[in-house]
Amino acid sequence: MIREACVGSFTEGKKAEALGANRLELCDNLAVGGTTPSYGTILAAKNHLSIPSLVMIRPRGGNFVYDEIEMEMMIEDIKVCKEIGIAGVVFGVLTPESELDMSKMKKLVELSKPLEITCHMAFDETSNLSQTLEQLIELGIDRVLTKGSKTNALDGIETLKQLVVQAKGRIKIVAGGGVNEGNYEAVAMQTLVEELHGTKIVGAL
């Protein structure tokens, strides 16, 4: 079972590692759901932590509809992650109609390989999770972070179970949203997910 700690700094990442996290989602600005951390933060995680880090690629808070300049920013940030040799990246791009923006996602996926790729909770804002999951599989994305399009993963248990069944091992389903050290085992048992994500997945940081 993978416990992925969502952290807002290198210091939090170091503490999460000490508390038993298996992997980090490395962000800045967690108050707005996470944005891309600094070059120095990414480099420190690579050089001074033994667990892998997945770096949030998100130029701002708010929605997940990005213009061409924002896409350029995301592209450059992915290039930095590849240069540093980080384990993976996390992103999601939607259309104004809240569907997966396949053309922009394809561009980012092709650039990101061979890094691991996670689609974040932009997934939960799409209207048809089943269809979107197939699109992510088609794109070659490794995992998707989701709370089953509900308020939190506990409310989304049934949807998470359905997504795991649909995925059939073709993509990893990561349960997040309200998942913490006190309930992650119950979420895993009920949904059969093998990866769980949260800011308190190994305790308060």
Mean pLDDT over the full length of the chain:
97
What are phi and psi for residue 155, nearest 5 degrees? -75, -25
- pLDDT tens digits along 15-32: 999 999 999 999 999 999
- Which fold is adopted by the domain 2-198? TIM Barrel (3.20.20)
Tokens representing 100 are 């997966």
Q: What is the pTM of this model?
A: 0.95
- Residue ranges of domains in the chain: 2-198
Dump pLDDT digits (tens) for 29-72.
999 999 999 999 999 999 999 999 999 999 999 999 999 999 99
- 99 token code pair: 């569907």
**pLDDT of 26:** 98
Q: What is the pLDDT of residue 205?
A: 87
